[in-house]
Amino acid sequence: MVSHSNGPKHMAPMEVSVEAGNAGAGEWLDDDGRPRRTGTFWTASAHIITAVIGSGVLSLAWAIAQLGWVAGPAAMLLFAFVTYYTATLLAECYRTGDPETGKRNYTYMDAVRSNLGGAKVVFCGVIQYANLVGVAIGYTIASSISMQAIRRAGCFHKNGHAVPCKSSSNPYMILFGITQILFSQIPDFDQIWWLSIVAAVMSFTYSSIGLALGIAQTVSNGGFKGSLTGISIGADVTSTQKIWHSLQAFGDIAFAYSFSNILIEIQDTIRAPPPSESKVMQKATRLSVATTTIFYMLCGCMGYAAFGDNAPDNLLTGFGFYEPFWLLDVANVAIVVHLVGAYQVFCQPIFAFVERRAAAAWPDSAFISRELRVGPFALSLFRLTWRSAFVCVTTVVAMLLPFFGNVVGFLGAVSFWPLTVYFPVEMYIKQRRVPRGSTKWICLQTLSICCLLVSIAAAAGSIADVIDALKVYRPFSS
């Protein structure tokens, strides 16, 4: 390994180990002695788009239906700006000190430890990893819903729309889990770039299909449906339900943009400067958030225009559309492929965290450190065992709690403020030494407090949904 010097001209030949073979091996290492990172603006953008554009884009029509033509699009634009701005603050915290030569922070927790320290590190870790586990469970459920929808679309086409065409989601969750056990053996974040690119392409595929079907339905209706204030209080919707659903919708839009919990991990895949990793990450964030906002606005607004107050929870699986059934199948296959990649994007930080801790605790253990070469692949017995166990646990929990999407909404509500706003703001203030009481300090703290209120309101809406789901709860139900 190479010592922690800043360049090869300061490096004595003896500082390269015998294992490296020769002094030229230093060219294959970064300034921290780790294998040279190969990520680019495009791979970082693919990771972000894969993380941000989830199948939740198809539920935005429902969210806008709760808020109406005024508040719905306004909320999307507002949170697009907040997410982009706080992400640029967080990107500057990847290195402590100098943006090009400062100490690297490999994870979100490392950045918090370097800049804030103390109990805030533990708080960050608990929130971040609980959220990532929740997302893994939620994606398992979402994939099974899309696989069910493929079967139901064919059934409706063959037997008519009046037939229930119901089936259990459990076999589909098991199939998704088996697939994830295989993909989870990819060693680290830097090596799943190709999977993220495939997943990003799939997200554009099903979003475009949903958009096209929404436009076609709107044209068929002869105009736009919906109202300025959203669903009206009446016989079907009480004032209390209107409030809870509006809060949930506001939260859904806010959290649809969230990817800060894996931003530092994505940034750690970018190759060394120039330009600095923070500049590349900020550029990738700008492209990704702009792209997702355009898709969110188009899909959400056209879905609402097509169905108005009757917009389904999911345009492609809630059967707002029945035909053409083959196109729905293509869209739902694209959703499943996207979720396979998105699951890995969100779980790789968990895998890396556990494996680092295990390696530090038992450095001499052959079970943890030894790798077996199988052709071009390097298989680790520990990685195979623990990652497979993790996937099995998330799959069983998804089968046990099929309404867990509501719980994931709660976890998202709880994690939005600390991970997307609070920690980036506080670390930026500390790193840039923003004077307490200055105009910039007051503006940053005001932003943080406003987002805290949104998180609390969205959490309340999600809790109300969980309570409703518990009333009809049956373990391992479809």
pLDDT of 173-203, one tens digit each?
Answer: 999 999 999 888 888 777 788 888 888 888 8
Position 473 scores a pLDDT of 67
The mean of the pLDDT values for the chain is 82
Q: Bigger pLDDT: 15 or 290?
A: 290
Position 19 scores a pLDDT of 39
What is the pLDDT confidence band of residue 395, given thresholds at 50, 70 and 90? very high
CA distances from 40 to 46, 88, 273, 410 (A): 10, 17, 11, 34
Residues 207-217, mean pLDDT to the nearest whole number: 84
Task: State what percent of residues in the chain have pLDDT above 90.
Answer: 25
Position 3 scores a pLDDT of 39
Instruction: Give the residue among 285, 268, 256, 264 at the shortest CA–CA distance from 128.
Output: 264
What is the pLDDT confidence band of residue 404, given thresholds at 50, 70 and 90? low
Coil, helix or strand for 35? strand
Position 178 scores a pLDDT of 95
Position 11 scores a pLDDT of 39
Q: Which amino acid is at 6?
A: N
Position 112 scores a pLDDT of 94
Position 386 scores a pLDDT of 93
Instruction: List the beta bridge partners of residue 372.
Output: 379
Contact of 265 with 353, CB cutoff 8 Å? no
In the predicted model, is pLDDT for residue 396 greater than 70?
Answer: yes
- In angstroms, the first-to-last Cα distance of the chain is 53
Q: How far apart are CA 160 and CA 333, in angstroms?
A: 22
Rg of the chain over Cα atoms, rounded to whole angstroms, equals: 23
The alpha carbon of 304 is separated from its chain's Cα centroid by a whole number of angstroms, namely 24
Q: Bigger pLDDT: 24 or 346?
A: 346
Position 148 scores a pLDDT of 85
**Is beta strand 95-96 parallel, antiparallel or unpaired with respect to 371-374?**
unpaired
Position 99 scores a pLDDT of 76
Q: Say whether the peptide bond before residue 275 is cis (omega within 30 degrees of 0).
A: yes
What is the pLDDT confidence band of residue 327, given thresholds at 50, 70 and 90? confident
Q: How far apart are CA 438 and CA 458, in angstroms?
A: 30
Q: For the segment 59-111, what is each residue's pLDDT rounded down to a tens digit?
A: 788 889 889 999 899 988 998 999 999 999 999 999 988 777 888 999 899 99
Q: How far apart are CA 105 and CA 117, in angstroms?
A: 13
In the predicted model, is pLDDT for residue 1 greater than 60?
Answer: no
What is the pLDDT confidence band of residue 326, given thresholds at 50, 70 and 90? confident
Instruction: Give the residue among 413, 309, 412, 317 at the shortest CA–CA distance from 66.
Output: 309
The crossing angle, in degrees rounded to 10, of helices 277-307 and 60-91 is 170
Q: Say whether the peptide bond before residue 475 is cis (omega within 30 degrees of 0).
A: no
Q: How far apart are CA 262 and CA 342, in angstroms?
A: 12
Which phi and psi angles does 165 have, rounded to 5°? 55, 45
Q: For the segment 353-381, what is each residue's pLDDT rounded down to a tens digit?
A: 898 889 888 888 888 888 776 655 667 88
